[in-house]
Chain A
Amino acid sequence: MADQKKKKLTPTQQQYQQLAKRHEPPRPLLKNFVRAFLVGGLICLLGQAIQEGFIHYFHFTEKTAGNPTVAVLIFLSALLTGLGVYDRIAQWAGAGTSVPVTGFANSIASAAIEHRSEGFVLGVGGNMFRLAGSVIVFGVTSAFVIGLIKTLIRMGG
């Protein structure tokens, strides 16, 4: 894809892009990796602690504690989004805050807040899944395909 795009460029454009590239500060990849690892891990650790809490104090089993744990994390993420803090943490943490379930909650909450000014139905309702929608669509589709493959393999075996 990238090569195809490059082929369409004129020599002047290619020359300029090479020059421009030299002036771009590169993304601090290593720093981003470390931060994502730390923050992502921290969120998972928090999730684990919440789950343990549900098991020990509210007598959930390891299996049934999953749902309330996710609900608490989603609530915290939506709260931090509403308070205007989540996006600041995310600029620092990168993938660390967007990959866990908190990032998914943030994408929905932020879109809902942003489009509140256009009303509840067309604004909030119509735009809540603007970012999260594609995750759901492709998540469900790929789950279906994987499920199908698994079934076929089982039938064969």
Chain B
Amino acid sequence: MRQGHQSWVFPSRPVIVGSAAIGGPFEAKGPLADDFDTLHGDLMMGQDSWEKAEKVLLEEACDKAVEKATLRKDDIHFLLAGDLTNQLITASFSARTLGIPYLGLFGACSTAMESLALGALLVDSQSADYVLAATASHNGSAEKQYRYPTEYGSQKPPTAQWTVTGAGAAVVARQGKGPQVVAATIGRVVDMGLSDPFNMGAAMAPAALATLEAHFRDLGLPHDHYDLVVTGDLGKVGHSILSELLPKHNLHIPLDRYQDCGRMIYGDNPTVWSGGSGCGCVATVTYGHLLNRMRAGAWKRMLVVATGALLSPISYQQGESIPCIAHAVAIEAEPNEEG
């Protein structure tokens, strides 16, 4: 049900009955390693290309999420999936394996919340009983497509980010046990004229701000409503920019309750520069760490704002700036868990 200009509230409170996070060897060394369901020691996942490895990640995440929801793949009505590769080959080829009716989505790194919001909408409108929302990214395939060959020796600036090798998936159901999706805000494309692909955090921060402003305005919520507000992959640079922008724009979200998945996934590791990024970043952190903490009762209400930079290597080479988007999904803990 639409509320305000660009938000949905879901009165039936669709439930995330199962979620899974799969990661690679580098993620296994990070502080959130325990929250992954499977961690691969081999960056190639036993495949012969980065693209095939990424597909393995997404398939495993989907399988695991369905298994944890104690369902079978046949029970899932729709698969909403996306990734960063050209023509969405990871998502589409995984959908071929899974055999679930499929809609491919692209919102760059914001796809994780785009698919969760749409999944909740389908369930809430009784268009589906079970929806699987899944996204993946792979460091190798992202470097190959957006930047240079993985073994090419180029020095990256401190504002650059490290694409996460990982996939996350969630099963959204009409009823069941688990955290509930209560609302979502669909972002508009924001372009502040930045054009440096090695500084995505600064390019995406205004998009996150715009979506946050819209979310609180549409739903009329107090700014300290959420126990945790988390952005997708702004990294250290974007996180510090947004932390300054929020109070300037009269959004008084307590800054100790504001975090960023790109900063969380690798901790303070300086070799990832500004932090993690990619579809897999917000997906693995949300569907692994954050939902686990919520199920454990660490917080009751959280807002996940997944940010995406909608550029391509061609648009960048043609001198275009980077348009960015952010989608927010509000998740609440199961009410009876409170007591």
From residue A74, how far is it (CB to closest CB) to chain B in Å?
A: 14
Given A24-B202, A24-B237, A25-B237, decide whether A87 and B159 contact each other with a Cβ distance below 8 A. Answer: no
By a beta-carbon cutoff of 8 Å, the part of chain A in contact with chain B is: 5, 8-10, 12-14, 16-17, 19-20, 23-28, 32, 81-82, 84, 86-87, 89-91, 93-95, 97-98, 103, 106-107, 109-111, 113-115, 117, 130-131
Closest A residue to B49 using CB positions: A117
Given A20-B205, A25-B159, decide whether A90 and B153 contact each other with a Cβ distance below 8 A. Answer: yes
Given A19-B241, A90-B154, decide whether A111 and B149 contact each other with a Cβ distance below 8 A. Answer: yes
**B155 beta carbon closer than 8 Å to chain A:** yes
Query: Is B192 in contact with A114, judged by CB distance below 8 angstroms?
Result: no
Query: Is B237 in contact with A117, judged by CB distance below 8 angstroms?
Result: no
**B199 beta carbon closer than 8 Å to chain A:** yes
Query: Is B155 in contact with A106, judged by CB distance below 8 angstroms?
Result: no
**B48 beta carbon closer than 8 Å to chain A:** yes
Other CB < 8 Å A-B pairs besides A20-B237, A90-B153, A91-B155, 19 of them? A12-B192, A14-B193, A20-B241, A23-B237, A23-B241, A23-B244, A24-B159, A25-B237, A26-B158, A106-B152, A106-B153, A110-B148, A110-B152, A113-B151, A114-B144, A114-B152, A130-B149, A131-B149, A131-B152
Contacts of A90 in B (CB 8 A): 152-155
> In chain B between 140 and 197, which residues have their CB closer than 8 angstroms to a CB of chain A?
144, 148-159, 192-195
**How many contacts A-B (CB < 8 Å)?**
97
Q: How far is the CA of A84 from the CA of B25 in the complex (A)?
A: 15
Contacts of B158 in A (CB 8 A): 24-28
Cross-chain contact of B202 among A23, A27, A115 (Cβ < 8 A): A23
**B206 beta carbon closer than 8 Å to chain A:** yes
9 nearest A-B residue pairs (beta carbon): A90-B153, A117-B49, A114-B149, A110-B151, A110-B149, A94-B155, A110-B152, A20-B202, A25-B158
Q: Which range contains the number of B residues in contact with the other chain?
A: 20 to 34
Instruction: Label chain B's interface by main secondary structure.
Output: loop
Name 16 A/B residue pairs within 8 A (Cβ), A-sorted. A8-B193, A13-B193, A20-B194, A20-B205, A20-B241, A23-B237, A81-B151, A110-B148, A110-B152, A110-B153, A111-B149, A111-B152, A114-B149, A114-B151, A114-B152, A117-B49
How does the 8 Å CB contact mask read for B238-250 relative to A, with 1 for contact and 0 for none?
A: 0011001100000
By a beta-carbon cutoff of 8 Å, the part of chain B in contact with chain A is: 48-51, 144, 148-159, 192-195, 199, 202, 205-206, 237, 240-241, 244-245
Contacts of B244 in A (CB 8 A): 19, 23
From residue A26, how far is it (CB to closest CB) to chain B in Å?
A: 8
From residue B335, how far is it (CB to closest CB) to chain A in Å?
A: 39
Query: Is B159 in contact with A86, judged by CB distance below 8 angstroms?
Result: no
Q: How far is the CA of A95 from the CA of B222 in the complex (A)?
A: 51
From residue A106, how far is it (CB to closest CB) to chain B in Å?
A: 5
Query: Is B192 in contact with A13, judged by CB distance below 8 angstroms?
Result: yes
Query: Is A86 in contact with B153, judged by CB distance below 8 angstroms?
Result: yes
Query: Is A87 in contact with B151, judged by CB distance below 8 angstroms?
Result: yes
Query: Is A86 in contact with B151, judged by CB distance below 8 angstroms?
Result: yes
Q: How far is the CA of A97 from the CA of B144 in the complex (A)?
A: 20
Contacts of A130 in B (CB 8 A): 149
Closest A residue to B48 using CB positions: A117
Given A23-B202, A23-B237, A117-B48, decide whether A17 and B153 contact each other with a Cβ distance below 8 A. Answer: no
From residue A138, how far is it (CB to closest CB) to chain B in Å?
A: 16
From residue A81, how far is it (CB to closest CB) to chain B in Å?
A: 5
Q: How far is the CA of A28 from the CA of B159 in the complex (A)?
A: 12
Q: How far is the CA of A10 from the CA of B191 in the complex (A)?
A: 11
Query: Is A9 in contact with B193, judged by CB distance below 8 angstroms?
Result: yes
Central interface residue in B148, B151, B199, by most chain A CB within 10 Å? B151
Contacts of B154 in A (CB 8 A): 87, 90, 98
Q: How far is the CA of A113 from the CA of B151 in the complex (A)?
A: 8
Q: How far is the CA of A27 from the CA of B51 in the complex (A)?
A: 32
Contacts of A82 in B (CB 8 A): 151
Q: How far is the CA of A13 from the CA of B321 in the complex (A)?
A: 11
Q: How far is the CA of A16 from the CA of B202 in the complex (A)?
A: 9
Contacts of A23 in B (CB 8 A): 202, 237, 240-241, 244
Closest A residue to B191 using CB positions: A13
Closest A residue to B240 using CB positions: A23
